[in-house]
């Protein structure tokens, strides 16, 4: 079994205390995913209510209600239009306001949530345990684009379908991408209905069958939400693209491989992807990730076109983010077992195009990005067994089933299987930055009406 538990490709990260302490005690634990240095944003409502959605900020085990904070006057130091954006039911207006506005909000929240703040009592009334929050999508996504930016993923998948020519020549020339479907986006914990469609039951078949997908897969990706957009016709330069990144999330680009195999030529994936794409609810800010900024993995090729070329001073355009995939089967749940780690990878090692390069490429033809648009990195797959970000790779196209700790085996996902994706940054001396969970359970295909 190419399981990560036996061959971790990375040294075990060590979590550290955040330098600033919060009066929210759960934020000060060494293993806290959401320390005071983090402050990820989300959109939520108190679970079980039909209260309107509001923006929240993760702190320890709590979510801090920005709408309530606005009502209580706790955000009065902010500019009026920024205050209004904080009271909105989605993050689009905040994203549109840009990085300076986000940093102003971040500074205000840091003040409110740190030990010794004079506003602790009123601020405490804005907290809700995360376990009592129901999350919405963080933003209304106008368009969702998915890239193919892991060389390992391109190679592993290409080897299955085109053994003689696994990685196509354009891969090294531009960040390959396709348009996903915005309506497919759901937030963590939304059940994923097994898609039905046409496929060939065996690769050599000429006839197709119709039915529930037999090759249902996940894809571990990171996502970026677009901040301020661009005007039609105006490209965003690669070294200015950071100003257009509002934040990061974890993304599961569920894939029905059998549907995808049959439909994808000549126009790319369609029904094999657009039945569901699950997002984690938290938007991780570039500021929180800043200590983990590292050089992009790709060497600066002289063949690279200028519009994709980072200036030497901006080559630190990637982030040392560990990704993790866990699987929990129905039987594991029934027996009270925790989800099992089946893959882990390292974003900065395994994704060879920076999000800045993706943005520069996406807009070089004049295409408009709008605030709240979503970019997926493509599957994050590493070079070693157990670092592959999907079952298609982990099981070599189904030929090498995974054997789980309880003896169950998997090629593709079965009904009842739950996939839990997460990501984190951790390094000695730095605050741990967790991305939260992107979780989805497969439910059987619906009978056709």
Query: What does the binding site for a second copy look like in residue numbers (CB under 8 A)?
Result: 142-143, 145, 148, 158, 168-170, 173-174, 176-184, 186, 193, 195-198, 206-208, 210, 213, 232-235, 237, 256, 259, 262-272, 274-276, 303, 305-307, 361-362, 364-370, 373, 445-446, 448-449
CA 195 to chain CA mean position, Å: 22
234 is known as an active-site residue: no
| Cβ pair 102, 384 in contact under 8 A | no
| Cβ pair 140, 92 in contact under 8 A | yes
The DSSP call for residue 182 is G
Which H/E stretch holds residue 257? helix 257-263
- Distance separating alpha carbons of residues 238 and 149, to the nearest angstrom: 16
Q: Nearest distance from residue 171's CB to a second copy, in Å?
A: 9
DSSP lists the bridge partners of residue 187 as: 279
Q: What angle do CA 20, 22, 26 make, to 5 degrees?
A: 120
- Distance separating alpha carbons of residues 184 and 278, to the nearest angstrom: 8
For the record, the structure tokens of 410 come out as 């998997």
Burial class (CB in 10 A: 0-12, 13-18, 19+), 262: middle
- Distance separating alpha carbons of residues 305 and 389, to the nearest angstrom: 29
| Cβ pair 16, 428 in contact under 8 A | yes
Give whichever of 103 and 162 is closer to a second copy, judged by the CB atom: 162
Collapse the DSSP code of 162 into the 3-class scheme (helix H, G, I; strand E, B; otherwise coil) and give the result: coil
Give whichever of 9 and 269 is closer to a second copy, judged by the CB atom: 269
Give whichever of 125 and 183 is closer to a second copy, judged by the CB atom: 183
For the record, the structure tokens of 213 come out as 């997908």
What stretches of 62-184 show up as alpha helix (H) in DSSP?
A: 66-71, 80-86, 92-97, 99-113, 120-124, 151-161
Catalytic positions, please?
153
């Amino acid at each position: 079994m190419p399981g990560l538990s036996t061959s971790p490709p990375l040294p075990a990260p060590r979590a550290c205390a955040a330098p600033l302490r919060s009066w929210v005690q759960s934020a000060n634990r060494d293993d806290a995913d959401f320390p005071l240095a983090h402050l990820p944003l989300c959109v939520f409502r108190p679970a079980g209510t039909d209260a309107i959605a509001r923006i929240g900020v993760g702190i320890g085990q709590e979510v801090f209600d920005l709408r309530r904070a606005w009502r209580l006057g706790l955000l009065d130091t902010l500019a009026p239009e920024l205050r209004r954006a904080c009271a909105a039911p989605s993050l689009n207006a905040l994203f549109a306001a840009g990085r300076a506005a986000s940093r102003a909000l971040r500074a205000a929240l840091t003040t409110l949530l740190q030990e010794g703040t004079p506003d602790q009592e009123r601020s405490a009334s804005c907290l809700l345990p995360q376990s009592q929050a129901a999350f919405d999508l963080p933003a209304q996504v106008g368009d969702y684009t998915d890239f193919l930016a892991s060389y390992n993923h391109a190679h592993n998948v290409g080897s299955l379908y085109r053994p003689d020519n696994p990685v196509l020549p354009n891969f090294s020339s531009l960040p390959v991408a396709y348009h996903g479907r915005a309506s497919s986006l759901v937030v963590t914990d939304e059940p994923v209905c097994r898609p039905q469609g046409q496929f060939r039951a065996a690769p050599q078949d000429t006839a197709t069958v119709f039915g529930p997908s037999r090759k249902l897969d996940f894809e571990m990706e990171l996502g970026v939400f677009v901040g301020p957009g661009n005007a039609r016709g105006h490209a965003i330069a690669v070294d200015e693209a950071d100003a257009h990144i509002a934040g990061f999330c974890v993304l599961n680009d569920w894939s029905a491989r059998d549907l995808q195999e049959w439909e994808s030529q000549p126009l790319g994936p369609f029904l094999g992807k657009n039945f569901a794409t699950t997002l984690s609810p938290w938007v991780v800010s570039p500021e929180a990730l800043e200590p983990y900024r590292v050089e992009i993995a790709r060497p600066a090729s002289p063949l690279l076109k200028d519009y994709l070329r980072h200036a030497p001073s901006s080559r630190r355009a990637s982030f040392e983010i560990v990704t993790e995939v866990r699987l929990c089967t129905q039987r594991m749940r029934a027996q009270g077992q925790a989800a099992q780690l089946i893959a882990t990878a390292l974003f900065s090692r395994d994704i060879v195009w920076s999000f800045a390069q993706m943005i520069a490429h996406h807009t070089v033809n004049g295409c408009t990005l709008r605030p709240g648009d979503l970019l997926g990195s493509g599957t994050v797959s590493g070079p070693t067994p157990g670092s592959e970000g999907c079952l298609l790779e982990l099981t070599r196209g189904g030929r090498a089933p995974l054997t789980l700790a309880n003896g169950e085996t998997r090629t593709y996902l079965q009904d009842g299987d739950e996939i839990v994706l997460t990501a984190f940054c951790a390094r000695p001396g730095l605050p741990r930055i967790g991305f939260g969970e992107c979780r989805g359970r497969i439910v059987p295909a619906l009978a056709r009406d």
